[in-house]
Structure 1
Amino acid sequence: MAAQKTDAGRFFEDYRLAQVIEHAVPRTVSGGERALYHALYPARHALYSSDEFARGCGLPASPLDDLAGFHLVFGKSVPDISINAVANLGYAEGRFLRPVTPGDTLRATSEVIGLKQNSNGRTGVVWVRTRGLDQNGDCVMEFVRWVMVRKRDEDAPAPETVVPDLAHAVAASDLPLPEGLDFSTYDFTAAGEPHRFDDYEVGEKIDHVDGVTVEEAEHMLATRLWQNTAKVHFDASSRPDGRRLIYGGHVISMARALSFNGLANAQMIVALNGGSHANPCFAGTTIRAWSEVLDKAPTDRPGVGALRLRLVATSGGEAFALRDEDGKYLPHVLLDLDYWALVPV
């Protein structure tokens, strides 16, 4: 009898603390990823759109959008980490260590750093630290994420609970700054807005005004682009309600692109401090976004400052409303993302 050749993927009881997983299918990046990214999202930050603008900022050429690189690395991890996921829950300690450029080949590896079975005995939470590596073995990005995963056998014994102690935020002194980055001759006209580092104040909130309605075909195209194979994004029978769940990264990129209106000069994301997919998103939802300035920091690069920003994606609701009186996310909040971005001073 022939051996079983297909793979149902890992379930919660298949993970072990300190387990290291080398993810399959490296991906060589081309200009096609950029073109499709800009077709899927209203992304138009100048540094990721123009080689000439990037060279004017001290880089050899325009890199791939930071979140496009993130989605590619994330997608590598899905068959091993979240193919049987109920939901991707959050992020922490993310750092974009090197710009990704066309011609780079990315692969990924993950280490299991935490496990906790849920009280229902049917699912558990797995924490992993994922690293994206280029063709030279250099780490281009790293991040922690945690995901709720189904159990194959509800009677399988629960592992020892280990919840990792994660940093509340990446310290400003630990932000990775691209080699050669220089905003001292920054072209504000080409970038699209005049706002500098000093124009933003801690506590300031910005309504990004615009909205985009998510379509079924577009989110599935995007998720396939990143080679993300999670069943809940494609197979309507994998959820009790018969609806495909929008990939959380699709919501992140849509909100980041919408934030251009008000944050056009927040050119590079260099760290993810934390993030939560507060409520599920489905096709037909109109995504809107607002931001809050959480912190500011100078850097040692010429003309470059850093803003710590909260990016909130919503399906409507009252502007700037985030949580109810009990501290729970309001039903219209889709995403709460905390990140550092580089801006001209």
Structure 2
Amino acid sequence: MQKTTPGRFFEDYRLGEVISHAVPRTLSGGERALYHALYPARHALHSSDVFARAAGLPAAPIDELIAFHTVFGKTVPDISLNAVANLGYAEGRWLRPVWPGDTLRAESEVIGLKENSSGKSGVIWVRSRGINQHGETVLDYVRWVMVRKGDPAAPAPGPVVPELKPALSAADLAIPEGLDFTRYDFALAGEPHRWGDYAIGERIDHVDGVTIEEAEHMIATRLWQNTAKVHFDATQRPDGRRLIYGGHVISLARALSFNGLANAQPIVALNAGAHANPCFAGDTVRAWSEVLDKAETAAPGIGALRLRLVACRHGAAPFALRDEAGRYLPEVLLDLDYWALMPL
């Protein structure tokens, strides 16, 4: 009897199929410490229990991207083990905080399938959920992945491409229970800029850059128990290079955004995202942001800011994103659209 598995290929998925992923993961302060060392993340709400309590929470929650990477990693063996590339995200919502000691599991529903014209691969769309030990959904999101076919001659299912919202509205946002920014300490947070100081259309150069090291990427990807072959096995690509996990670029860009957006505290929604070009060890990553929208909320002292976060290789022109034909420039690595909460 076969004891090992090569993973799923495109022809193995069925529309409407619900996949329960192994293995549940209990998160602790250890994950946070290593996460903050790898990037380094330093938003005050996630760094200090004292700061979080002053903002109405019982303690500092686990960083939202830690929860995202953990759930994402759970899905990899069933969704993207044989992926060519992770293509994009939509309709992501963080529905409740994750606390040290919480155990997360994941499940995904296949909501779209479309074979590529080459017949060698196809794109699958899945809606994935992270669920805590109480059976509560802490986040859900849609992503789409290009996956190899195991047998190019295998018949393809009829194409189904799901209709997805281009962006979530402010009314869709879930604000953590008890969160209150009326006594927000700007000095401790690191910057004086509040919600009213940002204007729609404003662009922010986050100034700093970080050169990605192979070892750091490998540690990060293993931390999330992400087993995608392209991140570890150099023989999986014709050029013999390991592909940097796209989530590593997301977290690095988010950490760089602290310089200019230190008060964009919890991430509450992921509207869209594209890994525009592959990233490899040795690339120096820089980031800039654009304010896309603003909204007040019913929560005390809290506004919502919709932000575009762009990561690019060193040498990219300032705020450059696409060419005249609308294609991403080759220096652009990430284009992420998200909502974050900020003091009014």
1:220 aligned to 218, 221, 231, which one?
218
Distance 2:67 2:278 in 1: 23
Q: What are the superposed Cα offsets for residues 119-139 of structure 1, whole Å, 9 maximum, x if unpaired?
A: 000000000000000001000
**Residue 263 of structure 1 aligns to which amino acid in structure 2?**
L
> Match for residue 341 of structure 1?
340
1:47 and 2:45 are equivalent in the alignment? yes
Distance 2:279 2:56 in 1: 38
Q: What are the superposed Cα offsets for residues 43-86 of structure 1, whole Å, 9 maximum, x if unpaired?
A: 10000000000001100000111101100000000000000000
> Match for residue 157 of structure 1?
155
1:22 and 2:20 are equivalent in the alignment? yes
SS class of match (1:130): strand
Q: Which runs of 4+ in 1 moved over 6 A?
A: none
SS class of match (1:23): strand
% of aligned pairs identical? 76
Could you tell me which runs of 5 or more consecutive residues in structure 1 were left unpaired when the two chains were aligned.
none
Superposition RMSD on alpha carbons, in Å? 0.4
> Match for residue 57 of structure 1?
55
Structural mapping, 1:64-213, within 5 Å = 64-213=62-211
> Match for residue 280 of structure 1?
278
Could you tell me which runs of 5 or more consecutive residues in structure 2 were left unpaired when the two chains were aligned.
none
Distance 2:335 2:62 in 1: 24
Distance 1:89 1:17 in 2: 19
**Residue 72 of structure 1 aligns to which amino acid in structure 2?**
T
**Residue 116 of structure 1 aligns to which amino acid in structure 2?**
K
What TM-score do you get using the length of structure 1 for normalisation? Answer: 0.99
Distance 2:114 2:239 in 1: 26
Distance 1:267 1:177 in 2: 12
Distance 2:168 2:266 in 1: 15
Shift of 1:209: 0.1
What TM-score do you get using the length of structure 2 for normalisation? Answer: 0.99
**Residue 82 of structure 1 aligns to which amino acid in structure 2?**
S
Distance 1:319 1:275 in 2: 20
> Match for residue 266 of structure 2?
268
Distance 1:48 1:179 in 2: 16
Shift of 1:171: 1.0
Q: Give the count of matched residue pairs.
A: 343
> Match for residue 318 of structure 2?
319
